[in-house]
Structure 1
Amino acid sequence: MGGYLIAVDGGGSTCRAALAARDGRILARGRAGPANIATDPVQARASIGEAARAAIADAGLPPETIRDCAALLGLAGARQAAPTAAALLGDLPFSRTELTGDAEIALEGALGPGDGIMAILGTGSAFLARHGGEIRSVGGWGLHLADQGGGARLGRDALRAALLARDGVRPHGPLSRTLLAAFDDDPARIVTFAGTARPADFGRFAPHVFDAVAAGDPEAAGLLTTAVAEVSQMIAHLDWADRPRIALMGGLAPLYARHLPAGMRERLSDPLGDALDGAVRLALRIFART
């Protein structure tokens, strides 16, 4: 095999690319904007190209190197967009392109080849388990129908609660005051924002929920209790009698970890690597066969 490998971790907020040698050594990395192939395929394609070119530039290689790279793309929304993604991704400049989901590369990064349960808790969410070599998954169907515990859903629900506090239906607290202040206390601005917001836009408000819980805000605590219950339900559905290790991935993972039920907290295990590490390992396996 000649050339290089490009491994991509494309999520709802950022797209990361690693340029790797054919033996798996990561030579350089690049970063760009969102790369959810289901919610905005045009943006996803642009972000993939930008992140890959940034990695190539960081390695000190000429831009045309991209045409000699085989690329493994682990993208948010891959399952939903599978029927239409092939044509769009065919326009990318790589020598060969393979598509998989961001959850699959995260599982590989978190567990390596071993068994266990993994929850992705970022802008979106997904839950996977490997048991005896068999992979099972639940969730991961996007903001409108799933994304239990995901930042976009939590952020959207927090804005809804802030509007209810503004209308006097719910009491004001640290969360509602913070979110309303972000829009100059103008509910019309929140409505306008929500009408065009992408998952990553909603997701940036999710950390405020955790901050408000720490400040003793009962409304925020209610939102988080619901989210934690949903996350716990998804993990429990994938559980089995041997009580496997649980790895949490994504930007909200450390925030959720302290709120999970005790029986799950005691089984938490640090991920072996991140999703980009998993993408590199999968790329090695896939492209070694060709």
Structure 2
Amino acid sequence: MKRMLPVAELARDERFVRVSVEETLFDPRNLSPSAQTNGLAPGVRNASDNARGLMHGIFVGEIQALEGAGRTCFDFDLGDGRDQAPFGLKLDMARQCWDEARHVEISCKLGDHMGGEIGEFAEQTLLYEAACNADPVLRLTGVNRALEGLAIDVFKTMRDFGTALDDPVLFFCEDWMLADEVTHVKMGSDWLRRLTANDPQRQKDALDFQKAVDKLFSFGGFRGETDESPVHLARHFRSLAGFSDEEIEELVDIAAEAYAEAVVQQEARALAVNDG
């Protein structure tokens, strides 16, 4: 089997439509005023459509999380070197594969429950691309801490949406997966500290990579602590997953910075339209 499998070679059938990270980030719809509003808030006219789109994003994200954890098990030789993975880390990634496979199945059925279908929305592949780093520590920070951390926020948001709709199926499934995600992030936090205990520069590089991924997924105010943010930061669950108070506050700042940048770009686009 091939090691370091590129994103272009991921197995998908004809139902899936893939878009690049660049297409997602520079999609003008992500800079529109509606993108900075909470589309799942009670009373929003198209909240059900927004929730279905978010659920589809969760579904394809879980597929990529499964692929990423599996690649980490396979891509690295066993050992304690910089380009190797300890047996315990591989064991944790194998356990995570089981969890992600279950999440794929649950999310697929939740999509049916919500009236959606596979391929209704496009798949962007940043999660898997973060799992392609040649350094296993950067994979841990990019995937287990940044993107699985985002999953904590998303599942908590969807669980709250299930409560607002009085939908026990949605609430139970999201609550179940949320518990798994806390474990996945905690594994990433623990292994990051263990593998970089004697290498502060490697730890800094890994955390810088995590911040870059976090900022990408905070684009346009997508995640934050304001009522307008579509996805809300789950402080309590992040704390359970090994994030310090300082790290959580830093993430709040990253989200606020991303929101401010989106507002500036909105204003620039509006001026360009008016001048035209």
TM over 0.5: no
**Structure (1 or 2) with the greater strand fraction:** 1
**Structure (1 or 2) with the greater helix fraction:** 2
Please tell me the TM-score bracket, short chain as reference: under 0.3
